[in-house]
Amino acid sequence: MSEWQPVFVVLGVALAGVALLYAAGRWLAGPAEPAPAGAFAGGLAPAEHAASRFHVRWYAVAMVFLAFDMEMLFMYPWAVVVAEVGAAAVVEMFVFLGILLAGVGYAWREGAFRWA
């Protein structure tokens, strides 16, 4: 666990630094309470709350990403053992990646990467 000890020290120092930043800002900038303001889009008052259900048109890309992201979890430990396991590890991994890339090709043909 000792290799993690410095990580926590760094995190603690960084946190203290950010806290110091906010304290300095408060000392320097006057009233502690944040200034109330209207949202800005050129100067006119917004007609509605901006925090609406935002239509993410790239959700199909997110699905493709998720497939790859899960795969990457296997790829990190795989990278360590390739030399030991040998050719079988390489073949299996790249067949898997090939299948995923075929999926990417299909998604591309279906227009999943064009959303605007």
- Positions in 56-115 near another protein (CB under 8 A): 56-58, 61-62, 64-65, 68-69, 72, 75-76, 79-80, 82-83, 86-87, 90, 93-94, 97, 101, 104-105, 107-108, 113-115
In the complex, least distance from residue 68 CB atom to another protein, rounded to whole angstroms? 5
The gap from C-alpha 84 to its chain's centroid, in whole angstroms, comes to 32
Q: Does 5 bind another protein (CB under 8 A)?
A: yes
Shortest Å, Cβ 64 to another protein: 7
Residues 30-59 that bind another protein (CB under 8 A): 30-31, 33-58
Residue 15 touching another protein (CB under 8 A): yes
C-alpha distances in Å from residue 70, one per residue of 5, 14, 29, 55, 89: 29, 31, 46, 24, 18
Per the CB < 8 A criterion, the answer to whether 113 and 107 are in contact is yes
Q: Is 18 in the site for another protein (CB under 8 A)?
A: yes
Spatial distance between the Cα atoms of 61 and 114, rounded to a whole number of angstroms? 9
The sign of the CA dihedral 42, 48, 51, 52 is negative
Is 1 a binding residue for another protein by CB under 8 A? The answer is no
